Amino acid sequence: MKPDHTVSCFIAVFFFKKIYRDREEIQKGREYIEDHWREKYDAQKLAAAVNLSPPYFARLFKKHVGVTPYDYYIDIKINKIKERLRDPKLTISEAFTLCGVDYHGNFARVFKKKTGLTPSQYREAAKQESP
């Protein structure tokens, strides 16, 4: 207590560095996914890139980003496919191949599930939106 009968107080925040570190690792993880979206998803390589275990990084990523790292990867891949589908010079199969996936495989179903449209329906809708 001070002579004027007031109390001084000191509060230290020790967890700031951990919060900052977590966000830095999330940013590195996002950058890794954005740089490697053409490749097959590999949780081990992604976690190694940010020096964390795969389960811990997945929980941390979901907490800060709102989706799992895999869903983030899929969303990027879907957006890249959408960009390619807007190019009328490419076939649908070529658009998928340029994005590192096979049109005749499972990814066409993933595309429809995420967008609500088949790739050909999406291409047709994109044509109608263009001037």
**Domains along the chain with CATH numbers:** 20-72 (1.10.10.60), 74-129 (1.10.10)
Contact 38, 23 (CB under 8 A): no
Given a cut of 90, whether residue 131 has pLDDT beyond it is no
Contact 53, 75 (CB under 8 A): no
Q: Go through 80-119 and write b for each residue having 16 or more CB atoms within 10 A of its CB, e for each that does not.
A: bbbebbeeeeeebeebbeebebebeeebbeebeebbebeb
Q: How far apart are CA 15 and CA 71, in angstroms?
A: 29
- Whole-model pTM: value is 0.78
Q: What is the pLDDT of residue 19?
A: 46
The mean pLDDT of 106-128, rounded to a whole number, is: 93
Q: What is the pLDDT of residue 66?
A: 94
Given a cut of 80, whether residue 42 has pLDDT beyond it is yes
The mean pLDDT of 22-26, rounded to a whole number, is: 82
